[in-house]
Structure 1
Amino acid sequence: MRVFIAEDDVRSRRMLRHMIEHVPGYEVMGEAKDGEELIAGVLREKPDTVLVDIDMPLLNGMEAVKACKRLQPDLQVIFTTGHKEYAIEAFRVHAIDYIVKPIERDRLYAALEHSAQLLRSRQPIGKSMMIKQHQQMIFVPLEEILFIERAERKAVIHTVQRKYELNEALAKLEDTLDARFVSSHRSYLINLEALERIETAGQHYKAYFKNYTEAAKISKHKLAELQKYKAM
């Protein structure tokens, strides 16, 4: 995977290059110390992924990324920054991750692996859900979410790889989702595109998903509605 680094601090650039070059399959194509150099580097090198600091001279990282995305819409962006307050804006430009400094090696590798998986599958970068976990902002593509359940006062987001817990109401999360997600039960939202089968379970039904053992509940009065959606 071709990676480009945009960071105004020379020591941070060296650290990032050092960490990336020790991982097979990743190649650092170039570096930039400001936003204008980032744009020129993306035009010249056509990287798959850029690691971008936000607070850079001449043109900040956020504005430079917006320009880069106009030139190369499929460019994957990972922000590496000391600022937490730009996470919402990063979400709007479809960044695949937002890492707050100091950068941990495992955290960086996880973001790069996510980028590599998208590249291998040639999967376009679509809408994501922004999740705050341990002072970090994680962007989870909606297509990876199987279902969301209410558990006590928390919302649990189920993906094949892991679960995420949020202190959010289901109704509030539903506003951030698209038409593929529907309410199957007062405590569940399910991704119809990921639904594999429905089985009876006493007074209700269970929804099962590919490559995942846990199931979501479907209430009787929601079953007909789900069947209608699946038939569309």
Structure 2
Amino acid sequence: MIPLKILLADDHEDSLKTLENLAAKHPEFEVVSTCRNGEELVEQAAVYKPDIVITDIKMPKLNGVDAIKKCMQFHPDLKFFFVSGYGDFAVEAFNISAVDYVVKPLEKSRFYAALEKAKWAVLRNEKKLFCQKHGKKKLPLKFNGALYYVPFNDILFIEKLGKKCFVYTKEKTFETYEKISDLFELLDDSFYLSHRSNIINLNNIFYIKPKNETYLAYFLGFSKHAHISKLKIKEVHEKIQQLNE
């Protein structure tokens, strides 16, 4: 996987070095530039086009919030979070869609949690752009260190179990830590959120049968079944009929 490009900004040399050292410990990230004021942040963002910006707020020439606003004029999909000694800018930060807001003194675990959130925000955006470009024909899934492009037609159903989601095809099962709601956004109208923990491919359902207070969907040549809420069974039948018209 190509490392995600990170740009760092802080007017304190020690803080900037700490951020750089923490980010550099993970091979999935690459620090492409470090800046000491807001104007430099904007200039470097235009040159390097980073995936993620991590910045202080109170800096010379231009504060971090205003610098990010300028960056978003030419990089609207930019993901960013703030690391600041002041907590009173948090509302303004989230109003411009900051991924996170970390208050100094910086804790390593807190920094990495924010960085992980930023990483997934970048990957989700890349997947949405891919789906738009390719007419939503395939679902991009990161699995076992590789990025798979799973054809929609091959997907039987998706199941949420604990913190993971399992994407079932006849040939292979893919695991991902993405939210089931985020996966659903990437799929087309042939998929339906039939249960809080299941997304079914309506085109691949072989038969449905009731069981106690719920319904089970079965797929030809596949042993596992998906769940359909009794509150959604009517709409499932209607959608299948619409797809067959």
**TM-score (ref. length: structure 1):** 0.56
In structure 2, do the counterparts of structure 1 residues 199 and 16 end up closer, same or farther at CA, with 3 Å as the change threshold? farther
**Which of 77, 93, 96 pairs up with 2:96?**
93
Equivalent residue letter for 1:123: K
Question: 1 CA distance for matches of 2:13 and 2:27?
Answer: 24
Q: Could you say which residue in structure 2 is the equivalent of 1:56?
A: 59
1:196 aligns with 2:200: yes
Q: Could you say which residue in structure 1 is the equivalent of 2:43?
A: 40
Question: 1 CA distance for matches of 2:86 and 2:238?
Answer: 45
The sequence identity of aligned pairs, in percent, is 32
**Which of 29, 47, 72 pairs up with 2:32?**
29
- The residue correspondences of 1:100-119 to structure 2 (distance < 5 A) are 100-119=103-122
Q: SS state of the match for residue 127, structure 2?
A: coil
1:123 aligns with 2:133: no
1:79 aligns with 2:88: no
Contact 2:10 2:35 in 1 (8 A): yes
Q: SS state of the match for residue 31, structure 2?
A: strand
**TM-score (ref. length: structure 2):** 0.54
Contact 2:193 2:199 in 1 (8 A): no
Task: Write out per-residue CA displacement over residues 12-39 of structure 1, whole angstroms, 9 at most, x where no aligned residue.
Answer: 1111111122322422222222222211
Q: Could you say which residue in structure 2 is the equivalent of 1:151?
A: none
Give 5+ residue unaligned stretches, structure 1: 126-145, 148-156, 164-177, 208-214
Equivalent residue letter for 1:202: N
Q: SS state of the match for residue 123, structure 1?
A: helix
Count of residues in correspondence between the two structures:
174
Question: 2 CA distance for matches of 1:76 and 1:47?
Answer: 9
Root mean square deviation of aligned Cα: 4.1
Question: 2 CA distance for matches of 1:55 and 1:67?
Answer: 16
Equivalent residue letter for 1:66: K
- The residue correspondences of 1:75-224 to structure 2 (distance < 5 A) are 75-119=78-122, 122-124=126-128, 160=165, 161=177, 190=196, 195-196=199-200, 200-205=210-215, 218=229, 220-224=230-234
Equivalent residue letter for 2:35: A
Question: 2 CA distance for matches of 1:199 and 1:32?
Answer: 61
